[in-house]
Structure 1
Amino acid sequence: MKNFRVAVWVAVIIVAAVLGWLTLNITKTRDMPLAEGPFGVPFTLVSQSGEPITEQALRGKPTAVFFGFTHCPEVCPTTLFELNGWMEKVDPAGDKIQAYFVTVDPERDTPEILKQYVLNVSKRITGISGTPEKVADVIKGFRVYAKKVPVDEKDPSGEYTMDHTASVFLLDAEGRFAGTIAYGENPDTAVKKLENLISKG
């Protein structure tokens, strides 16, 4: 009987030690900083001015990135207009945050068309286009949804529109993902997100 009690206590001590070790390691794992690299993929596209632009443009300062297209009837012009207004509130001088509008419709959105379209809304947002293949790689790399949709289902090769992700992506100064601003988000919430993005650098 005495040996049985000793064995039970030994077992209890062993279990307690194992649980203590597991708890310690789980706590350490939670406290370890997550290794996060730049969001998206390397790319070489074309800015609205016709100059080459790479992923390095998304570094150096907090960045807002929106994917859309110039034939977009409502979501894109609304988002760009609102984004410009939010940026003017949080960064009147225009030197703390930058923004890019990446087309999901490169077949129609040439740099020239993008420039005319974007400048009608903002002088602080830069349009980006490129070959369909390269733009497709960026869309995939940023985990953006974009799909060509025929206006007339009976004529799939005719006029089309684009379904696409409607959120604005927020990146920190290192190009790391820092959140999103949803389409239709409360303006005060959107401004607060941009303020937080700037404060974190």
Structure 2
Amino acid sequence: MKILRACRFIIAVSSICIIITIPFLFSFWNKNTVEFSIPEKFNSILTTSRGESDSIYRLGRTTIVFFGFTRCRGICPKILNELQNFLEEDHDCSIEVTFISIDPSDTESDLLRFEQIYNYQVRAFHGSIQTIQTMAEILRAPFYLPAPGNIEKAVINHTSRATILREDGRNAILLENPTAKRLHEEITKRNICYATVDEKPRTF
């Protein structure tokens, strides 16, 4: 009898703990997804793999932006594979992936090879570090570069965040550790494919 009561007590306490914990878990999940606005004076122009100046996003298309570097063997392939899996799904709107290199040693040839690896489903860009750092801060994906001269030997630190730019180029969603499943959920839940487009990409 005592054992039965003890079991009931443990089950009751466990149930209470679960009920209390669930809201915190949802809270933690929401903190990993942040919606924010893009400043009016946002420089969206960088250099493509073909040496042309172009905007990192196109109005009328949802753009997923990820900062990394071509020789990255950790976070970058993992995230980009998830993004590629996401692109291969059926969607009701046009979605692109933009990869921005934070490595000054990445050349346009490196970027082109990188695009080829992902079957040209990713648009790769580079530019001055000052411009890219400013862009990364605005898109809430900061990174750290080692001191000049040590970049080939040191580790480049960057986040596993992806920023979803909505079609109007004015609003964005920050996603921590994006997966194809989570991207699909965000695109669907927020009706991201139905923004109003009425202006061109902005530059300083």
Shorter-chain TM-score bucket reads: 0.5 to 0.7
Residues 1:71 and 1:158: Cα distance change in structure 2 (over 3 Å): closer
Contact 1:36 / 1:176 at 8 angstroms: preserved in 2?
A: yes
Partner residue of 1:114?
111
Q: Where is the helix percentage greater, Structure 1 or Structure 2?
A: 1
1:171 has 2:165 as partner: yes
Equivalent position SS for 2:155? strand
With the length of structure 1 as denominator, give the TM-score of the two structures: 0.66
Residues 1:111 and 1:158: Cα distance change in structure 2 (over 3 Å): closer
Partner residue of 1:42?
43
Ranges in structure 1 where 5+ consecutive residues have no aligned partner: 1-34
Ranges in structure 2 where 5+ consecutive residues have no aligned partner: 1-35, 196-204
Q: Quick one: which amino acid aligns to residue 69 of structure 2?
A: F
Distance apart, 1:143 and its partner CA: 3.0
User: 1:36 and 1:140 mapped to 2: Cα distance?
Assistant: 13
Q: Report Cα offsets for 1:127-152 as digits up to 9, x if no partner.
A: 010122322332233232111248xx
Within 5 Å, give how 1:5-20 maps onto structure 2. none
Contact 2:112 / 2:124 at 8 angstroms: preserved in 1?
A: yes
User: 2:78 and 2:94 mapped to 1: Cα distance?
Assistant: 23
Matched residue count: 158
Partner residue of 1:98?
96
User: 1:187 and 1:77 mapped to 2: Cα distance?
Assistant: 14
Distance apart, 1:120 and its partner CA: 0.4
- Percent of counterpart pairs with the same letter? 22
Contact 2:146 / 2:156 at 8 angstroms: preserved in 1?
A: yes
Partner residue of 1:71?
71
User: 1:84 and 1:170 mapped to 2: Cα distance?
Assistant: 14
Q: Report Cα offsets for 1:139-172 as digits up to 9, x if no partner.
A: 233232111248xxxx957612211121110111
Contact 1:40 / 1:141 at 8 angstroms: preserved in 2?
A: no
User: 2:60 and 2:120 mapped to 1: Cα distance?
Assistant: 19
Whichever of the two has the greater Rg, that structure is: 1
Contact 1:48 / 1:127 at 8 angstroms: preserved in 2?
A: yes
Per chain length, whose mean CA-contact separation is higher, i.e. which structure has more relative contact order (CA < 8 Å, sep 6+)? 2
Contact 1:38 / 1:174 at 8 angstroms: preserved in 2?
A: no
Distance apart, 1:44 and its partner CA: 2.8
